């Protein structure tokens, strides 16, 4: 067993609206106008407000001039002919119908999804020609049959697609979902291209970039796309110009399918995949069966950052692992990028068919980048306690975006899982304090202070250990002082402190968090994901703690160690999502109020806290209930 990660979060729409506000600029701001559209509203509205909304998109597009924006209330908009977006005009979907700004919308993958569905055959949903200063935001573009769903021709980098889903389009040409051609260089931010189908021989089920174009794409999901042809399932990139290259960053390719090779992507030009995952893609044929193929003298693929190629399959009838890059001499690995080499031989087709995977669900929050200096609202900051100056010890603190001096906030305290860690479904973990975003995801960015700690290794000047507990007593001492510091310095309410854990740190919530009578009383409750301390595993030293940890009592691994620690919970609330260990039997003995929740996905990472998942909804409701009750005492 292995154990991972942590993250922080920022509301998706406000985050990306800030980053890409330039995408909605056009003519002079004094002339800008907002057009309101609501599917099914009474005809006769002039589009000047939600109560006077136009009933369809077409009249709004006809009336809009450069600098204008069109706001679409959630619903399905059936369109009879391709929506052609003029320069300087932007479309925003995802409105409930009461908002006064795009930042007030809910995430697109929740209740307020806005569909543009083409009903005509041989027509695209959206086409942008010679586009500048255009933003499509919060839309699901679907239904094309015979032409690509979205076509971009001669588009400048000021054409931005953000928070969009391009889904279920079919075309007999490359790029059934998204076709980028004729010197187009758009920017994509948090875009999903899924379940599109290229019926021709050329491939490119998901998207296509021609030899004159490029795309700068951050945070993408490319999943479930099919190419009937032999090459290029999720993406076909034909980018042979030496002057252009394509960057895909934080883009995950899952469950795409092609014939002989390139089940995820095929290219003849230049591509960099950074911090991305190619996983669970299927090449229907046995040879060569690679998830990616690079062909031609000008082909070059760079895998950088933490890009990981794993769990891909070849041969539908006799599945086997296939993670190689066809044209490996044109592939360069940089940084911590890796291609799995330990997956060989027969594989289970369920890796491809079992699609309950977090990587196919769009995020609605993103963690802020790690920074230094004095903590500030909405930022994740690396910090060392004053008493530990000169040591390698540190923690990370997140102050909520609504933090104000003098106010009191509940505190979420967590440790990371083991790391560095990767598995065959593309989950990753770093094992350090900054790799623990669970608390930030659960908080939604507001209302909670989040403290991310490490397991300290006193043999290395108290440097946080990536694997297991380090120095148990040193870790306990730092934890107690850090919790106290959060109260003194930032207003953490020390009567409302919840310990949260994942994997290694779910076990550690007991082994460290309930280790003795000095640390156990800190917690109002404990919330764990994918694990809890098992006495059977501790007794046989399954995790080899004795090689990675020290300064603990040998009796901790005796036959009653886990039970003794569980007693220190003393009736306080405990929620465990996923793994159970011996917790059911322990609870039966002492009748503590524990709650168990099964997880709905196959993953072993904490990104469920950054997506609209049942686990997150249940965990947030539990936190509210536990801390509200405590506040009333």
Same domain (yes/no): 102, 61? yes
Separation between Cα atoms, residue 7 and residue 511, nearest integer Å: 23
Separation between Cα atoms, residue 190 and residue 222, nearest integer Å: 11
pLDDT digits (tens, 9 = 90+) for 111-127: 689 999 999 999 999 99
pLDDT digits (tens, 9 = 90+) for 279-291: 999 999 988 899 9
Among 53-62, 226-235, 441-450, 537-546, the least confident range: 537-546
26 falls within a domain: yes
Question: Final residue of a domain: which of 325, 355, 385?
Answer: 355
Separation between Cα atoms, residue 321 and residue 554, nearest integer Å: 43
Separation between Cα atoms, residue 155 and residue 149, nearest integer Å: 16
Same domain (yes/no): 525, 604? yes
According to DSSP, the residues that pair with 150 across neighbouring strands are 126, 178
Look at residue 3 and tell me whether its pLDDT is greater than 60.
Answer: no
Look at residue 631 and tell me whether its pLDDT is greater than 80.
Answer: no
458 falls within a domain: yes
Question: Final residue of a domain: which of 102, 128, 154?
Answer: 128
362 falls within a domain: no
Are 453 and 433 a contacting pair, CB within 8 Å?
Answer: yes
Region class of 190: left (phi > 0), else alpha (psi between -120 and 50), else beta: left
Separation between Cα atoms, residue 491 and residue 402, nearest integer Å: 13
Query: How far are the Cα atoms of 75, 255, 290, 345 from residue 324, in angstroms, in the given order?
Result: 43, 16, 6, 13
Residue 108: what pLDDT? 61
pLDDT digits (tens, 9 = 90+) for 474-526: 999 999 999 999 999 999 999 999 999 999 999 999 999 999 999 999 999 99
148 falls within a domain: no
The backbone torsions φ and ψ at residue 54, rounded to the nearest 5 degrees and listed phi first, read -70, 150
Separation between Cα atoms, residue 246 and residue 238, nearest integer Å: 10
Same domain (yes/no): 74, 107? yes
137 falls within a domain: no
Same domain (yes/no): 351, 473? no
Same domain (yes/no): 408, 312? no
Separation between Cα atoms, residue 42 and residue 36, nearest integer Å: 13
- Running DSSP on this structure, what letter comes out for residue 399? B
Number of domains in the chain: 3
Paired tokens of 253: 């390719």
Q: What is the CATH number of the domain that holds 605?
A: 3.40.50.1820
Range of the domain at 61: 15-128
Max Cα separation, the chain? 79
Residue 31: what pLDDT? 61
Average pLDDT score over the chain:
88
Question: Final residue of a domain: which of 355, 385, 405?
Answer: 355
406 falls within a domain: yes
Same domain (yes/no): 438, 321? no
Collapsing DSSP states into helix, strand and coil, what is residue 535?
Answer: helix
Q: Scan for tokens 């001492």, then name that residue.
A: 477
Higher per-residue confidence, 259 vs 492: 492
Same domain (yes/no): 207, 337? yes
Are 308 and 340 a contacting pair, CB within 8 Å?
Answer: yes
Percent of residues, the chain, with pLDDT higher than 90? 69
- For residue 202, what pLDDT band results from cuts at 50, 70 and 90? confident
Taking residues 432-450, report their average pLDDT: 95
Strands (E), 203-269: 207-209, 216-223, 226-227, 235-237, 246-254, 257-258, 265-267
Strands (E), 433-558: 449-452, 455-457, 463-465, 470-471, 492-502, 525-529, 549-550
2 falls within a domain: no
Same domain (yes/no): 324, 381? no
Are 41 and 395 a contacting pair, CB within 8 Å?
Answer: no
Same domain (yes/no): 335, 392? no
The backbone torsions φ and ψ at residue 329, rounded to the nearest 5 degrees and listed phi first, read -70, -10
């Amino acid at each position: 067993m292995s154990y991972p990660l942590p993250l922080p979060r920022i509301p998706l729409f406000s985050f990306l609206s800030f980053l890409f506000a330039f995408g909605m600029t056009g003519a002079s701001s004094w002339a800008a106008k907002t057009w309101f559209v609501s599917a099914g509203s009474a005809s006769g509205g002039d589009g000047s407000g939600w109560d006077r909304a136009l009933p369809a998109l077409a009249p709004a597009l006809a009336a809009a001039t450069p600098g204008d924006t069109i706001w679409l209330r959630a619903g399905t908009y059936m369109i009879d002919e391709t929506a052609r977006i003029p320069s300087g005009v932007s479309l925003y979907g995802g409105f409930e119908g009461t908002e006064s700004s795009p930042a007030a919308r809910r995430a697109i993958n929740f209740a307020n999804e806005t569909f543009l569905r083409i009903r005509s055959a041989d027509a695209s949903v959206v086409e942008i020609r010679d586009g500048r200063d255009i933003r499509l935001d919060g839309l699901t573009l679907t239904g094309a049959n015979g032409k690509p769903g979205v076509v971009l021709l001669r588009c400048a980098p000021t054409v931005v697609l953000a928070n969009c889903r391009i889904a279920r389009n079919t075309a007999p040409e490359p790029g059934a979902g998204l076709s980028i051609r004729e010197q187009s260089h758009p920017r994509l931010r948090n875009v999903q291209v899924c379940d599109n189908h290229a019926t021709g021989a050329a491939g490119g089920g998901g998207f296509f970039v021609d030899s004159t174009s490029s795309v700068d794409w951050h945070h993408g999901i490319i999943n479930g796309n099919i190419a009937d042809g032999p090459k290029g399932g999720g993406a076909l990139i034909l980018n042979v110009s030496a002057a252009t290259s394509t960057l895909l960053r934080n883009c995950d390719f899952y469950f795409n399918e092609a014939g002989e090779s390139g089940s995820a992507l095929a290219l003849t030009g230049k591509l960099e995949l950074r911090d991305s995952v190619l996983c669970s893609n299927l090449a229907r044929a046995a040879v060569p069966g690679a998830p990616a193929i690079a062909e031609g003298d000008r082909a070059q693929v760079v895998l950088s950052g933490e890009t990981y190629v794993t769990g891909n399959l070849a041969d539908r009838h006799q599945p086997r692992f296939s993670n190689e890059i066809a044209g490996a001499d044109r592939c360069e690995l940089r940084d911590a990028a890796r291609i799995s080499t330990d997956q060989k031989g027969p594989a289970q087709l369920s890796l491809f068919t079992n699609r309950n995977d977090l990587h196919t669900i769009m995020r609605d929050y993103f963690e802020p980048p790690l920074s230094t200096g004095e903590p500030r609202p909405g930022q994740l900051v690396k910090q060392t306690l004053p008493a530990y100056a000169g040591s390698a010890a540190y923690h990370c603190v997140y102050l909520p975006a609504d933090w104000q001096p003098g106010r009191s906030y509940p505190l979420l305290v967590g440790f990371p899982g083991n790391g560095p860690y990767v598995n065959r479904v593309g989950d990753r973990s770093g094992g350090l304090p900054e790799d623990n975003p669970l608390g930030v995801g659960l908080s939604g960015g507001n209302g909670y202070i989040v403290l991310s700690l490490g397991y300290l290794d006193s043999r290395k000047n108290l440097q946080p250990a990536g694997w297991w507990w380090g120095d148990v007593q040193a870790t306990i001492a730092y934890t107690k002082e850090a919790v106290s510091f959060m109260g003194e310095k930032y207003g953490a309410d020390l009567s409302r402190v919840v310990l949260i854990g994942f994997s290694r740190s779910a076990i550690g919530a007991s082994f460290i968090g309930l280790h003795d009578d000095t640390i156990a009383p800190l917690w109002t409750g404990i919330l764990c994901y994918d694990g809890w301390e098992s006495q059977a595993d501790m007794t046989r030293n399954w995790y080899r703690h004795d090689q990675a940890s020290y300064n603990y009592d040998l009796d901790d691994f005796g036959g009653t160690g886990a039970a003794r620690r569980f007693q220190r919970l003393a009736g306080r609330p405990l929620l465990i999502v996923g793994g159970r260990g011996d917790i059911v039997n322990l609870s039966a003995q002492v009748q503590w109020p524990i709650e168990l929740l099964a997880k709905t996905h196959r993953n072993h990472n904490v990104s469920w806290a950054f997506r609209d998942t049942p686990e997150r909804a249940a965990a947030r409701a539990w936190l509210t209930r536990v801390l509200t009750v405590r506040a009333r005492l």
